[in-house]
Amino acid sequence: MADVKPPCGQQNASVDTDLTTLLLILGGLVSAISLIKTAITNWTALSNWLLANGVGMGIPLAAIGGALIAFTVVFVIAYNRCRPREGVQACSAGVINEIVPAYDNGVDQFFAFTGMHNRIDVVVKSFYWPLVQNNVFVRCAADADGSPMIAGYYWTKEVCAAGQGAIVGGAVGIIPGVLAGVALAALIGCATIILCILALIVAAIVAAAIVIAAAVIGGQVGRALSEETVPEADDVALRVGDYVTTSGNLMNIEFIDGARGYWWVTDSALHGHSSEAAPYRYIDPDTNLTGDMCPGSGPVIT
Amino acid sequence: MAALVKLAALLFGRLSFCALMGAIIGALAGFLFAALMEEHPGHVFTNAELLQIAVPLAIACWLVVLLIVGVWLHYGAAAIAWPLLLNAFVTVLLTVWANNLIQMPAIAGIIGLLIGILVGSILCRFCGRLPQGTTHG
């Protein structure tokens, strides 16, 4: 039985927890100036060096801030990609309209901690439209009808291994980053206001860059040590055009504008392949995928 | 950490995208201005000096946020670059001006964060639409 088709596109704003978490921790860090000053004073080697070279408290403060903020960014991004999220257990079926593999772009290849899990976009049977509908965003295929889709993220070992590697690498980079930032900024000095602000910016950016470089190295090592995975069902790699049943934790996912998706797909079953080409219309699975693996009682399992 | 994520969503989840950007820029600018105040304790900066400070600070904050949000979080650097630049200049100017008045380095970052939220919220009302979509999506 076909429900009313959900309207495609944005319905309301979604919450980006990468940004909000980053802001909360950043707020905490910039409020901890007195604490950081105490840490500098207690770091005897550094404070002796500062005294001997006539460098004030501002430069190490900027360097430590830069390093900690860079580490926070790496940590928040990596953590948010691999944390489980609260949704509802659900099941849906349809035809795969697109597959977006992990590390499908140069930025993610280089900064491995920004990588995203393998994802399939499924044009669902009209029976499952109630699962697509939310008040945030409805993603649709580019067909004439605008057929609603549900995304399915497959937990990808590489992504989490890269994140863990980046966190370890970033942590290792903090102290060298601070020292390099302070040393370079001290060369510029604080003789004039303009030189001083430049020195502070250099201190923060050099310290942050070293933390990021260490995180990039750590992320690449973590990624290299893990194995590459692809979305599969019944031990067969999924392809665009496959009819599938997917089930797992369904929720509004911030990485796709708050649209509905599985974070993550826990079970999937393959039911054959469509004779049409993408973009698929919902009529295709409605007609050709009559028996799927979801319980017949209704779309949401809970 | 999960509690922190929930708290962050509770505190900042209703803010517009521009307000979040402004808050990050303001916090960074406030922190670096606090470091400058530590280098020149008790010094009250003139308006000309504040402008000299604000320009490089705004450019630095703009580039940093562009990298984090535009590139790493996949909002698209080109899509957010120009509105973010305006946001950065206004937020940083107001942040250094306000902190120069108050002369309290310990709260300079928080003052910047609050100014950024205010500036970003106002700019978002003028600009209308939020940037949509990450390339992950």
A217 with A175, same domain: the answer is yes
Bin A278: left if φ > 0, else alpha if -120 < ψ < 50, else beta. Answer: beta
**Tokens 């609260």 sit at which residue?**
A86
Which among B5, B7, B72 has CB closest to A111? B72
pLDDT at B131: 52
Q: Using a CB-CB distance cutoff of 8 angstroms, which residues of chain B are in contact with residue A24?
A: 4, 7-8, 11-12
CA-CA distance, B91 to B96, in Å (whole number)? 9
pLDDT grade for A237, boundaries at 50, 70 and 90: very high
Instruction: Give the residue from B77, B79, B81, B90 showing the smallest Cα distance to B117.
Output: B90
Do the Cβ atoms of A190 and B39 come within 8 Å?
yes
Q: What is the CATH number of the domain that holds A99?
A: 2.40.50
- What is this model's ipTM? 0.90
The reply to whether A188 falls in a domain is yes
Summary mean pLDDT of chain A = 90
Written as six digits, the tokens of B106 are: 């310990």
A25 with A147, same domain: the answer is no
Per-residue pLDDT tens over the stretch A195-215: 999 999 999 999 999 999 999
The reply to whether A40 falls in a domain is yes
Which among A21, A37, A65 has CB closest to B5? A21
Q: Which residue has the higher pLDDT, A302 or A62?
A: A62
Do the Cβ atoms of A107 and B4 come within 8 Å?
no
Write out the residue range of the structural domain in which residue A36 sits: 17-81+162-225
The reply to whether A298 falls in a domain is no
Last residue of a domain, one of A225, A243, A267: A225
Task: Return the domain boundaries, chain B.
Answer: 15-38+45-127
Q: Using a CB-CB distance cutoff of 8 angstroms, which residues of chain A are in contact with residue B45?
A: 193
Per-residue pLDDT tens over the stretch A276-288: 998 999 999 999 9
Q: Using a CB-CB distance cutoff of 8 angstroms, which residues of chain A are in contact with residue B107?
A: 31
Residues ≥6 apart with Cβ < 8 Å to B38: A37, A56, A57, A58, A61, B105
For residues A248-258, b (16+ Cβ closer than 10 Å) or e, as one string?
bbbbbbbbbbb
> Quick check: B69 contacting A, CB < 8 Å?
yes
Q: Which of B10, B39, B75 to mutate to test the interface with A (most CBs of A within 10 A)?
A: B39
Contact status, residue B120 vs residue B21, Cβ threshold 8 Å: yes
A129 with A258, same domain: the answer is yes
Sign, CA torsion A135/A137/A143/A147 = negative
Contact status, residue A265 vs residue A154, Cβ threshold 8 Å: yes
Do the Cβ atoms of A193 and B73 come within 8 Å?
no
